[in-house]
Structure 1
Amino acid sequence: MAARERAKELRRQIDSGQDPLQEKRERREAPTVEDIAKDYLERHAAKLKSGKTVREYINRDVLPLWGKWKAADVRRRDVIELVERKAQNTPIAGNMLLGVVRGLFNWAIEKDLLEQNPAFKVKPPAPKNSRDRWLNEQEIRQFWLKLDTARMAPECRAALRLILCTAQRSGEVLSAELTEIDTDRAWWLIPAAKAKNGLQHDVPLASLALGEVQKLLGVGRWLVPRRYTSKDAHTTVAGLSNAHAANQEHFGLPRFTPHDLRRTAATHMTKTCGVSRFIVGQVLNHVEKGVTAVYDRHSYDSEKKAALEKWDRELRPILGVPTKAKLVEMAG
């Protein structure tokens, strides 16, 4: 009976102008998620500054589950379940994974490989950061001290402290190369190709920051090398975020992210150190807008150095670390 019904269905399809065999061939030849991901990573993501992070999310979270699926078979429900599962332990990583999946399928649509994006209108699994979280003095001290016993690689501990001391972006700290750091002069050069705004940025290293850099100096290319890999690679933003998120309970503080450490430094520089917002913007390497900015090519190196040294002097008593003047006094 079943065979007879299938035969009738085939006859109906043929009579209506359909080609069942052609549909089967098209189904067989339709790209899998793995096929699309391979092209996307090679032809598009490799050109992005966030390309390494995108590749990590796809290889770790997407392909093990969906790799062999036909890309057209991925449904909205599948996306929701994937990102919600990711967000259970690391909420922000769930949001980032959603962005990666959405970008992958948008690219496939642009290349006429798919017709629909299963991530379309899927809401982020975690609330977006309000962008106003910063740590007060007590929280800074607790975070710094708890880092010593946090379950993460020593390189990640130093990277988090560097973000707080220098107010630089996570990705820029993690991708720093040893050749870009002059410990004798206490300066760190962020090349234009690595800076988020595409502008070269010189970062003065005050004493606390320089101390963390010196802990990381070693053999190899990267300041913060990636462990447990045969490749010459640095720790990724996702890797640092995951290490930080895994220790949220250990820190014993209201939830915050590595990026909030950058905001913490900027806030304290204006709030307690008396540094102007304009100079803090230079420390952060924010892009100015307006006609004046086009003509003003002053690097503000001396102003940035003064600002970060003020922050260093403010930070030391918060952490219970003697100031340089106190150290000289104690040595005498």
Structure 2
Amino acid sequence: MPLTNVAISKAKPTDKTQRLFDGGGMYLEISPAGGKWWRLKYRYGGKEKRLSLGTFPDTGLAEAREKRDAARKLLASGIDPGEQRKATKAAGEDRSANSFEVVAREWHAKQSSTWVELHASRIMLRLENDIFPWLGSRPIADITAKEFLTTVNRIVARGAVESAHRVLQNCGQVLRYAIATGRAERNPVTDLRGALPSVKPKNLAAITDPSAIGGLLRAIDAYQGTFITKCALRFAPLVFVRPGELRHAEWAEFNLDKAEWNIPAEKMKMRLPHLVPLSPQAVEILRELQPLTGTGQYLFPSARSPKRPMSNNAVLSALRRMGFATDEMSGHGFRAMARTVLDEVLQFRPDYIEHQLAHTVRDPNGRAYNRTAHLSERRQMMAAWASYLEALKADGNALMPMRKTE
């Protein structure tokens, strides 16, 4: 006789497993512990098999019968319902394993070893904030160009056009990785070339006029903030490294007797070790600073903890307190200042300047520079640069170009 809900509710566990049959091979299995499972007994390929249809009461009698009937239709079509379920589950797991977020995090983990920490964290924040909430769970091979465009247009709508371009570029990189690892066949992001508004060119604020540079240097000398920040401000124009490289500078990287700063590859944007020759003026600043912070890790530690570097806004905030506006000077501006004046005024060879800026410069064979390339010439350049800045700070009478360096 077919089962009824009343009969199922009244069924009590015994010391042995019970089976209450409903018809069509389906039965309710009741364990001695009281658990109730719906089962379907069927034959396929000459073998007797069983398929779970759920547990009672989560799966009621009517729902269990629907599952039984669906399984029997598969059998009538020559399909094993048990194997079909395994295949469906495997396909679902495969789609989950190949979701955009899973592939993107895998790509990021592999690439981040070649990036500086700040760059890596910015990329992941972009993906977590602007892509994963909408596309993260989708199988990467199924996402269309239209879906990517709709998602990044949300970023455009809030006025962050440059961020939209960057995150779309990151999505394209993830897709290329998915293709290389067999999780996608094509990259729909390439179809979106020209689909976003253009980014207006934005130059980082920098003072490059020699007479104005003298005023900046005199303002730094008169700075009334902490001694550590003042040393960072004085040191920055002499070495013109990136702001992150400056604030993460560690005493272990310096040899003051040899007047050298060896920055390890993991701190550099291009992941290549970099050597900064130090002028006598730069060494003097560090010897003044050494009694205060030389026993710790960082040259310029945070005011809150000596185990952390100074804030990435410390130099920028100091410039603002000195009266330099956002469109006038930035922490990154010391690099533009040096690049412009070393080339146009002091007339040093552009490749010497590019080497010292830690930009990628390649030899005739296409190989990237090494950290000691043109070291002797760069030492002379850094010394000449420091002397030039000193003269500008003193009276501004250093505006005539020097003889071009060969």
User: How would you bin the TM-score normalised by the shorter chain?
Assistant: 0.5 to 0.7
Name the aligned partner's letter for residue 115 of structure 2.
Answer: K
Q: 1:163 to 1:68 in 2, by over 3 A?
A: same
Q: Per-residue CA shift, 1:301-326, capped at 9, x if unaligned?
A: 4432222122112223444599xxxx
Name the aligned partner's letter for residue 186 of structure 1.
Answer: A
TM-score of the two chains, using structure 2 as the length reference:
0.51
Structure number with higher helix proportion:
1
Among residues 177, 182, 199, which one is paired with 2:255 in the alignment?
A: 182
Three-state SS of the structure 2 residue aligned to 1:75 is helix
**Higher relative contact order (Cα pairs below 8 Å, separated by 6+ residues):** 1
TM-score of the two chains, using structure 1 as the length reference:
0.60
Three-state SS of the structure 2 residue aligned to 1:201 is strand
The answer for the alignment partner of 2:106 in structure 1 is 39
The answer for the alignment partner of 1:6 in structure 2 is none
Cα distance in 1 for partners of 2:243, 2:340 equals: 17
Q: Residue 202 of structure 1 contacts residue 301 of structure 1 at CA under 8 Å; is this kept in 2? A: no
Q: 1:94 to 1:262 in 2, by over 3 A?
A: farther
Structure number with higher strand proportion:
2
Q: What is the aligned length?
A: 296
Deviation at 1:268, TM superposition (A): 1.2
Three-state SS of the structure 2 residue aligned to 1:30 is helix
Cα distance in 1 for partners of 2:159, 2:122 equals: 11
Among residues 277, 287, 311, which one is paired with 1:203 in the alignment?
A: 277
Q: Per-residue CA shift, 1:129-182, capped at 9, x if unaligned?
A: 57997622355456664899899x997886676453223345544554321112
Q: Residue 186 of structure 1 contacts residue 204 of structure 1 at CA under 8 Å; is this kept in 2? A: yes
Deviation at 1:265, TM superposition (A): 0.4
Q: Per-residue CA shift, 1:24-69, capped at 9, x if unaligned?
A: 9739953555534432332x1232133x234311444432454454
Q: Residue 33 of structure 1 contacts residue 66 of structure 1 at CA under 8 Å; is this kept in 2? A: no
Q: 1:202 to 1:242 in 2, by over 3 A?
A: closer
The answer for the alignment partner of 2:122 in structure 1 is 57
Name the aligned partner's letter for residue 103 of structure 1.
Answer: Q
Q: Residue 238 of structure 2 contacts residue 282 of structure 2 at CA under 8 Å; is this kept in 1? A: yes
Q: 1:148 to 1:243 in 2, by over 3 A?
A: same
Q: 1:255 to 1:123 in 2, by over 3 A?
A: farther
Cα distance in 1 for partners of 2:247, 2:215 equals: 23
Q: Per-residue CA shift, 1:211-261, capped at 9, x if unaligned?
A: 26864845554445678899x7767xxx84898599889632636765543
Question: Percent of aligned positions with the same letter in both sequences?
Answer: 17
User: For structure 1, which runs of at least 5 residues remain unmatched after alignment?
Assistant: 1-10, 323-332
The answer for the alignment partner of 2:344 in structure 1 is 271
Name the aligned partner's letter for residue 26 of structure 1.
Answer: G
Cα distance in 2 for partners of 1:55, 1:297 equals: 24
Q: 1:175 to 1:161 in 2, by over 3 A?
A: same
Cα distance in 1 for partners of 2:338, 2:283 equals: 12
Among residues 164, 170, 173, which one is paired with 1:103 in the alignment?
A: 173
The answer for the alignment partner of 1:287 in structure 2 is 361
Three-state SS of the structure 2 residue aligned to 1:262 is helix
Three-state SS of the structure 1 residue aligned to 2:154 is helix
Among residues 369, 379, 393, which one is paired with 1:305 in the alignment?
A: 379
Q: Per-residue CA shift, 1:116-136, capped at 9, x if unaligned?
A: 767543647633457997622
User: For structure 2, which runs of at least 5 residues remain unmatched after alignment?
Assistant: 1-69, 78-83, 397-406
Deviation at 1:104, TM superposition (A): 3.8
